[in-house]
Structure 1
Amino acid sequence: MAPVITPVKTDLDIPASTSVVVIGGGIVGLTAALNLAERGIPVVVLEKGRIAGEQSSRNLGWIRKTGRSLSDLPLSVESDRLWAGMAERVGADVGYRQAGIMYVARTEAEMEKHATWIGSAGGQSLDSRLLSPGMIDALVPGGTGGWIGGIYTPSDGRAEPTLASSAIAAAAIVKGAVIVENCAVRTLVTAAGRVSGVMTERGEIACEQVLLAGGLWSRRFLGNHGVVLPTLPLVASVFRTGVMEGPTDIAVGAADFSFRKRHDGGYTITQRGALFAPLMLDHLLIGHRYLPVLKAEWKNVRLSFGRDFLRDLSMARHWSGTARSPLEQLRTMDPAVNHGLNAEAMQNLCKAWPVFNGAAVRQSWAGMIDVTPDSLPVISPVAKLPGLTLASGFSGHGFGTAPAAGQLAVDLLTGSAPIVDPTPYRLERL
């Protein structure tokens, strides 16, 4: 069962025209809409299902700089700053807490990786530091994991996925944005060699610019327009506990579990070391591009072949603006929970911190992540379709980096000075 998000009163009707159309009502599209509205630029967000109905409400809620690739670190630093001011900005609690993030290590190889990262990231003036076993015990008491050390960044934090997107959407509406749910964009409309509007299931909206923030759907949408975006779907299974006295407010990750305190007093837990991949046609078409990252990072991806493949195969890859699109056929991607992975996570966690033996599991869910071959998102103009900007492929990092990612997308489509160097996120790199 999917997490329940705070409801937002959205618009029922689409306007005939606007300046910018945002395709996708996830957290990146919503932060972009908030940025546009704050700049006085008319914007319409079109969501095929419900806002934040997919991964934006199903993620872990971590806001981290720790372990980010060096090219992605500036975006994370800026997002961290923007998250800290988000509650004041939107006039509502988004669950942000600067409680820190810690990774614990069982092996010398893990510690070497953390030490190398700290050495490489030194120019960012971060407060990250390596930990001894005694330091871990002091910060997260009651452990029996036998850690040899770890890494800790006190300025990292967390926010609540079920609160944040709704609060951002509501603030954008107050500032002039129009958000319409259950309205799929079927195709782009072009004139004189550039994007001039979108064709929705309810009719056409004329506009000057389009931002595609469609998450895992962006690849199929772009493919219909002859643009290749290499992303593959992976599924993360998650569960939450009831209220409990846990060992810490710090979010903690190990090789085979992670946990973080929730605003409701429980904990969100996952099997950090394993993801689930229901095989689909795209895995066969572009899966070879992911072999390096599979060998280096995703050594524990569980595969399955079955009805997901058949469902994906039955969905069109090319359609017209007058035809019912796959985006209407499946409005919300709601993957099945892998209860085996969740059981592994709880077993591994209880061995490391026995206090969790008394935890009661209250809810489980799964979310589908769109992953690029280098695990970096695409935040970039699309050269083949002038007037279209893309913000997708966040590879499981979209929630934490959303404030800066949404702003960067808006900077690019408006020609403003970018909040960070956009070079690492260019579509052409892929």
Structure 2
Amino acid sequence: MSTNEQRIVIVGGGIVGLSIALGLARRGVQVTVLEAQTLGSGTTSTSYAWINANGKEPHSYYAINRAGIEAHRAFATEATGGGQWFFGTGHLEIAADASHEQDLRHRAEALARRGYQVQELSPEQAAALEPGLNLPESPRAIMYFPEEGHVYPLLYVAEVAHRLRAAGGKIVEGATVVGFDSAGGGVVVRTQDGGSYPADRVVLASGGRTGEVAELGGGTVPMARFTEPGDVTVGYLARTNALPVKLARLVTTPWLNARPEGGGRLVIQALDLDATAEPGNVPGLDSELAEQFLTRLRSILPASSGARIDQLLVGQRVMPADGKTIASPVPGAEWMYAVATHSGVTLAPFLGRAVSGELLDEPEPLLEDFRLSRFTQGVPAEPPRGPRKPGEQ
């Protein structure tokens, strides 16, 4: 079968699914994206969107995240104006106690050995880099990671969707997949609204629902599911009003992580506060939690005295059962390929190239450690613990 005769359906219109769809469309595949709600409305819209390979272990996981950073830069250069969704402005991390300092130095040394750019800064150098930042009186260590950055996920989604349509791809929103039927040598994907979409292959890029969708077709993709407040699958994210704050890059402190959101707005998170997070129970904008976010923000950015929380949400992390990325054919369903990862924003443009190649019989060596075959020895009894240290995602 020639490439332009192949029909591939992508289940999930988030940042990963759309990137894979674009990779396929550029290769001449007839590709259709089925999104249950609207493009980017799932995990993509609730991501802190930090592009990095910082502390990503083991080495194979570091390698694909490094490839993700490079793919973001390459993709952004394709666009007129250099890609208005991508900001490779770096990341500044400040340690104020001995434990954080030890962790930060250990990560920095490991990254430097791999050729990752790391610079230790003096307080004066950090103040010159981010003059609006209130530094601790005696910071234990300040590290700058100039290769890192952030994206505006929905602007990335808009760009990819535009390019996908221009390449002949089809996007269907409001299309919840409810089943799969065998048809000849392929499959028909059925949706809740009565739609049916014939395909030779199906890619599951459904975020936290990937396991559930796989089961509809007789496949197994082990995913961690929400069990209790503050577990690994959930975390708070807050967005502020527009502020007269000078902040050019991601900043990580023991109390708060913050990054620019555009137009003077900020995105902030405080991982220790995630202990009470649960879907469907989001505290109000005038809640004690919102006030804690504001207090911490004002302590690190004095010009944010007029800040208010305009949006407070509980994001749901895409977390395979063992915490490691999945990019793999699904055993027992030869027409199904699954992608699930906590690092979806960083990896999206890399996965767009790599997975589209794999679907066309071009294996990607960097993905060999991320196959579902690793679960044949049994899924871990408990999912990984949620991130709670400064700098973790």
- Short-chain TM bin: 0.7 to 0.9
3-state secondary structure, aligned to 2:48 = coil
In structure 2, which of residues 348, 352, 357 is the aligned counterpart of residue 406 of structure 1?
Answer: 352
Q: CA deviation at 1:90?
A: 5.4
Q: CA deviation at 1:417?
A: 4.1
Range that drifts further, 228-237 or 402-411: 228-237
3-state secondary structure, aligned to 1:180 = strand
In structure 1, how many angstroms separate the alpha carbons of the residues matched to 2:234 and 2:198? 36
In structure 1, how many angstroms separate the alpha carbons of the residues matched to 2:308 and 2:96? 27
3-state secondary structure, aligned to 1:121 = helix
3-state secondary structure, aligned to 1:246 = coil
In structure 2, how many angstroms separate the alpha carbons of the residues matched to 1:272 and 1:150? 19
For residues 220-274 of structure 1, what are the alpha-carbon distances to aligned partners after superposition, in whole Å with 9 as ceiling and x for unaligned?
A: 2223425141322433222222332324302111233111112222211122333
Could you tell me which runs of 5 or more consecutive residues in structure 1 were left unpaired when the two chains were aligned.
Answer: 1-16, 276-300, 309-333
**Cα 1:115–1:29, aligned 2, differ >3 Å: closer, same or farther?**
same
Q: CA deviation at 1:172?
A: 0.5
Equivalence map 1:86-235=2 (5 Å): 86-89=75-78, 93-141=83-131, 142-146=133-137, 147-190=139-182, 195-201=186-192, 202-224=194-216, 225=218, 227-233=220-226, 234-235=233-234
Range that drifts further, 49-58 or 234-243: 234-243
Could you tell me which runs of 5 or more consecutive residues in structure 2 were left unpaired when the two chains were aligned.
Answer: 227-232, 376-393
In structure 2, how many angstroms separate the alpha carbons of the residues matched to 1:156 and 1:222? 34
Verify the 8 A CA contact 2:214 2:220 in the aligned structure 1: yes
Range that drifts further, 52-61 or 373-382: 373-382
In structure 1, how many angstroms separate the alpha carbons of the residues matched to 2:63 and 2:254? 25
Look up the match of 2:235. Answer: 236
**Cα 1:366–1:302, aligned 2, differ >3 Å: closer, same or farther?**
closer
For residues 380-429 of structure 1, what are the alpha-carbon distances to aligned partners after superposition, in whole Å with 9 as ceiling and x for unaligned?
A: 1112211211011x22x2112211123222222222142x5112321232
In structure 1, how many angstroms separate the alpha carbons of the residues matched to 2:246 and 2:163? 35
3-state secondary structure, aligned to 2:312 = strand
AA matched with 2:268: I
In structure 1, which of residues 66, 85, 94 is the aligned counterpart of residue 74 of structure 2?
Answer: 85
**Cα 1:340–1:232, aligned 2, differ >3 Å: closer, same or farther?**
farther
Look up the match of 1:291. Answer: none
In structure 2, which of residues 20, 28, 41 is the aligned counterpart of residue 32 of structure 1?
Answer: 20
Look up the match of 1:265. Answer: 264
**Cα 1:408–1:274, aligned 2, differ >3 Å: closer, same or farther?**
farther
**Cα 1:415–1:399, aligned 2, differ >3 Å: closer, same or farther?**
same
Range that drifts further, 405-414 or 133-142: 133-142
Verify the 8 A CA contact 2:120 2:141 in the aligned structure 1: yes
In structure 2, how many angstroms separate the alpha carbons of the residues matched to 1:343 and 1:162? 27
CA RMSD of aligned residues (A): 2.5
Verify the 8 A CA contact 1:238 1:342 in the aligned structure 2: no
Q: Indicate yes or no: 2:328 matched with 1:391.
A: no
AA matched with 2:251: V
Verify the 8 A CA contact 1:242 1:361 in the aligned structure 2: yes
**Cα 1:335–1:82, aligned 2, differ >3 Å: closer, same or farther?**
farther
3-state secondary structure, aligned to 2:243 = coil
**Cα 1:21–1:156, aligned 2, differ >3 Å: closer, same or farther?**
same
In structure 1, how many angstroms separate the alpha carbons of the residues matched to 2:160 and 2:327? 20
Look up the match of 2:298. Answer: 350
Q: Indicate yes or no: 2:44 matched with 1:56.
A: yes
AA matched with 2:25: A
Q: CA deviation at 1:41?
A: 1.1
Q: Indicate yes or no: 2:372 matched with 1:427.
A: yes
3-state secondary structure, aligned to 1:232 = coil
TM-score by length of 2: 0.82
For residues 116-141 of structure 1, what are the alpha-carbon distances to aligned partners after superposition, in whole Å with 9 as ceiling and x for unaligned?
A: 22332335321123334443333233
Q: CA deviation at 1:156?
A: 1.0
Q: CA deviation at 1:88?
A: 4.5
Look up the match of 1:280. Answer: none
Verify the 8 A CA contact 2:204 2:213 in the aligned structure 1: no
In structure 2, how many angstroms separate the alpha carbons of the residues matched to 1:55 and 1:71? 24
Moved over 6 A (4+): none
Number of corresponding residues:
357
3-state secondary structure, aligned to 2:60 = coil
Equivalence map 1:303-382=2 (5 Å): 336-337=282-283, 339-382=287-330
Q: CA deviation at 1:379?
A: 1.0
In structure 1, how many angstroms separate the alpha carbons of the residues matched to 2:68 and 2:11? 22
Q: CA deviation at 1:174?
A: 0.6
AA matched with 2:293: A
3-state secondary structure, aligned to 1:421 = helix
